[in-house]
Amino acid sequence: GAKPAVCKHWLRGLCRRGEGCDFLHDYDASRMPECYFYSKFGECSTKDCPFLHVGATASTAGCPWYDRGFCWHGPLCKYKHTRRVMCANYLVGFCPEGPKCKFVQYV
């Protein structure tokens, strides 16, 4: 049968299975595997990344517990943990930027 996707190990020159590999050993843009970084973190910093960047999944959604201050799952959490910096002006009482401030303000 047809092989489902391009072998991610072959793309890096590291596949040891050769002809016995269950994946395609030929560059086919329509059958590229999913980008690990995009699927895990919702972004990929590799310029001209050959892997697929598919829509947001649970792993790219923000973690509601981390956003409140603490997540029991830590780095094993299936949701994205985005570190935010508190607004120093807001902490002392007033931020002149208001809702346009680039820092976090909890109301």
Sorting pLDDT into bands at 50, 70 and 90, what band is 1?
A: low
**How far is 90 from 93, CA to CA, in rounded Å?**
5
With a pLDDT cut of 90, the percent of the chain lying above it is: 6
For the chain, which domains are there?
Answer: 1-53 (4.10.1000.10), 59-100 (no CATH)
Residues 77, 86: contact at Cβ < 8 Å?
A: no
Q: What is the CA radius of gyration of the chain?
A: 21
Residues 5, 33: contact at Cβ < 8 Å?
A: yes
| Mean confidence (pLDDT) of the chain | 80
pTM: 0.43
pLDDT digits (tens, 9 = 90+) for 30-65: 788 888 888 777 788 888 888 888 764 445 567 777
Structure confidence at residue 14 (pLDDT): 92
**How far is 66 from 83, CA to CA, in rounded Å?**
9
